[in-house]
Amino acid sequence: MKNLRLELNKAAQFLADGTMEAWAPKVKAAQAALENGTCPGNDFLGWLHLPSAFPASLMEDLKQTAAQLRELCDVIVVAGIGGSYLGARAVIEALGNSFGWLMAESHRPVMLFAGNNIGEDYLAELCDYLKGRRFGVINVSKSGTTTETALAFRLLRRLCEEERGLDVARKVIVAVTDAHRGAARTQADQEGYKSFIIPDNVGGRFSVLTPVGLLPIACAGYDIDALMQGAADMEKATGSDVPYEENPAERYAALRNALYAAGKKIEILVNFQPKLHYMNEWWKQLYGESEGKDGKGIFPAAVDFTTDLHSMGQWIQEGERTIFETVVSVETSAHTLRVPHDDANLDGLNFLEGKRVDEVNKMAELGTQVAHVDGGVPNIRIVLPRLDAYGLGQLIYFFERACGISGILLGVNPFNQPGVEAYKKNMFALLDKPGYEAESKAIRERLAR
Ligand code: PA5
């Protein structure tokens, strides 16, 4: 199998000669800190060797549970948010048919997502859709107490019991949560739901290669063995024993930190395949939550090209020169579609006759690269040979490893997220949650000012 490829020259050219080489000792020290568990947040390094050490029995259990859910359900709702949501959605959308949700596919359940917002209309419309359908729920929450997920699960569980009866509901509700703590664990144990454990030492945004991501992905019908194999191969390719010159995660981490030090404060992750939209979303959380702290951190933004060239293209080409872009490019598309001849040629597109649509897309990609580099935007390219489970496993692990290294280089703890608690405290105070009486008065006063 071919590994993903990193092309850095169109970004490194924005730095002084020798910059990349100068980062090597710091990068190797960061890798050693990861490997030896001496970095900040070292109680959350369980993801580091997960792909190569994943228990075969757990893989089997995941596949069997997925098979049972698929047998009993036409629709599976995955309830979860942030790290308990984005990875599964990213892989499922990247591997799926773009219009799969419109098609009756006997071998695949419709995969839906909830618990990632508090939209009343969203939840009401979801419940309406599920009424009368054979649906099941995967409740994913490490803490088991996240409001968005718990709220959605409360509604879904009640509906599932009403629609399918208590006995079937207990078979088609599965929990992925902490081994001992949290409401999701207690509820799963009390109700006898099948459950999977999120390891203590794997944080939410690094958890896609645990049951958090693997169960929904297997339910959707995709090859979790190939996904894990891709990740395991990338684990090898990015190990601390691989020389800096050949190590894609080390070089990506070094380059983005060098660009940041040179004033490039925003990184835009770019795809040229609509199916990668949620991969962008997953990446934004991974890097945003890992690096944005202590008043530091590259701001991770994301765009879908060529769509967003018609909305964000102007800003990227000529706005403040504080950005660089990282393009995830898929070398070979799965289908072949050629531009047909048209006698009238009113659109003037006959010059494209016979060309593959993907060739047009690739020329858009290369044309954009040159335009952006000319406009002062450093351009990193990550080339995936194809959009398959193996390649996505590589991409996921590559980004995770590089993120760990990059956060350490930046001088932050890449594995905590203290900032995400601030809004929750205020929301609970405003909702008069017991225990928040003092905060409740204070926040109302502040809102009235
Ligand atoms: O990365 C994180 O830790 C967060 O994004 C969490 O994954 C998210 O808040 C969901 O938390 P939980 O799985 O506890 O419901």
What CATH number does residue 237 fall under? 3.40.50.10490
Res. 102 pLDDT band, cuts 50 70 90: confident
Residue 81 CA, ligand 1 centroid: distance in Å: 6
Q: Which residue has the least CA distance to atom 15 on ligand 1?
A: 141
What pLDDT does residue 100 have?
81
- The number of domains in the chain is 3
Domain edge (last residue) among 201, 222, 243: 222
- Judgement on whether residues 142 and 261 belong to the same structural domain of the protein: no
Between 419 and 103, the higher pLDDT residue? 419
Average pLDDT over residues 188-211: 97
What pLDDT does residue 449 have?
87
Domain that holds residue 427: 418-448
Average pLDDT over residues 135-158: 96
Query: Is the model's pLDDT at 420 over the cut of 70?
Result: yes
Could you tell which of 146, 180, 200, 423 is best to mutate to test the pocket of ligand 1, judged by most ligand atoms within 8 Å of the CB? 146
Report the C-alpha gap between 448 and 41 in whole angstroms: 39
Average pLDDT over residues 54-62: 98
Q: Is the CB of 284 inside a 6 Å radius of any atom of ligand 1?
A: no
Res. 29 pLDDT band, cuts 50 70 90: very high
- Judgement on whether residues 94 and 9 belong to the same structural domain of the protein: no
Q: Is the CB of 146 inside a 6 Å radius of any atom of ligand 1?
A: yes
Res. 104 pLDDT band, cuts 50 70 90: low
Residue 73 CA, ligand 1 centroid: distance in Å: 26
**Range 354-360, long-range pairs (CB < 8 A, 24+ positions):** 358/332, 358/333
Report the C-alpha gap between 231 and 396 in whole angstroms: 7
- Judgement on whether residues 210 and 246 belong to the same structural domain of the protein: no
Query: Is the model's pLDDT at 369 over the cut of 70?
Result: yes
Res. 289 pLDDT band, cuts 50 70 90: very high
Q: Which residue has the least CA distance to atom 8 on ligand 1?
A: 82
Could you tell which of 43, 78, 84 is best to mutate to test the pocket of ligand 1, judged by most ligand atoms within 8 Å of the CB? 84
Minimum-distance ligand 1 atom for the alpha carbon of 149? 15
- Judgement on whether residues 254 and 332 belong to the same structural domain of the protein: yes
Between 418 and 216, the higher pLDDT residue? 216
- Judgement on whether residues 118 and 263 belong to the same structural domain of the protein: no
Average pLDDT, the chain: 96
Q: What does the angle CA 417 – CA 393 – CA 316 come to, to the nearest 5 degrees?
A: 65
Share of the chain above pLDDT 90, in %: 89
Longest alpha-carbon distance in the chain? 75
Q: Which residues contact 247 (CB under 8 A, 6 or more apart)?
A: 237, 238, 239
Q: Is the CB of 87 inside a 6 Å radius of any atom of ligand 1?
A: no
- Judgement on whether residues 248 and 188 belong to the same structural domain of the protein: no
Average pLDDT over residues 180-187: 94
Reading the block at residue 416, the tokens are 């905590």
What pLDDT does residue 375 have?
98
- Judgement on whether residues 310 and 335 belong to the same structural domain of the protein: yes
Name the percent of the chain in helix, strand, coil, to the closest 5. Answer: 55, 15, 30
Minimum-distance ligand 1 atom for the alpha carbon of 289? 1
Minimum-distance ligand 1 atom for the alpha carbon of 80? 15
Q: Is the CB of 116 inside a 6 Å radius of any atom of ligand 1?
A: no
Could you tell which of 43, 44, 81 is best to mutate to test the pocket of ligand 1, judged by most ligand atoms within 8 Å of the CB? 81
Q: Which residue has the least CA distance to atom 3 on ligand 1?
A: 204
Read off the pTM. Answer: 0.96
- Judgement on whether residues 82 and 162 belong to the same structural domain of the protein: yes
Average pLDDT over residues 270-297: 98
Q: Looking at the annotation, which residues are catalytic?
A: 289, 310, 424
What pLDDT does residue 103 have?
73
Query: Is the model's pLDDT at 324 over the cut of 70?
Result: yes
Query: Is the model's pLDDT at 441 over the cut of 90?
Result: no
Q: Is the CB of 83 inside a 6 Å radius of any atom of ligand 1?
A: yes
Minimum-distance ligand 1 atom for the alpha carbon of 146? 15
Res. 105 pLDDT band, cuts 50 70 90: low
- Rounded alpha-carbon distances, angstroms, from residue 16 to 13, 20, 325, 370, 376: 8, 9, 19, 20, 15
Domain edge (last residue) among 222, 251, 277: 222
Q: Is the CB of 394 inside a 6 Å radius of any atom of ligand 1?
A: no
Range in 148-162, 358-372, 420-434 with the lowest mean pLDDT = 420-434
- Judgement on whether residues 375 and 241 belong to the same structural domain of the protein: yes
Provide the terminal-to-terminal Cα distance of the chain, rounded to the nearest Å: 61
- Judgement on whether residues 383 and 244 belong to the same structural domain of the protein: yes
Range in 165-174, 271-280, 439-448 with the lowest mean pLDDT = 439-448
Q: Is the CB of 143 inside a 6 Å radius of any atom of ligand 1?
A: yes
What pLDDT does residue 438 have?
86
Average pLDDT over residues 12-34: 97
Domain edge (last residue) among 222, 256, 278: 222
3-state secondary structure of 175: strand
8 A C-beta contact, residue 14 and residue 378: yes
- Judgement on whether residues 55 and 194 belong to the same structural domain of the protein: yes
What pLDDT does residue 106 have?
61
- Judgement on whether residues 236 and 382 belong to the same structural domain of the protein: yes
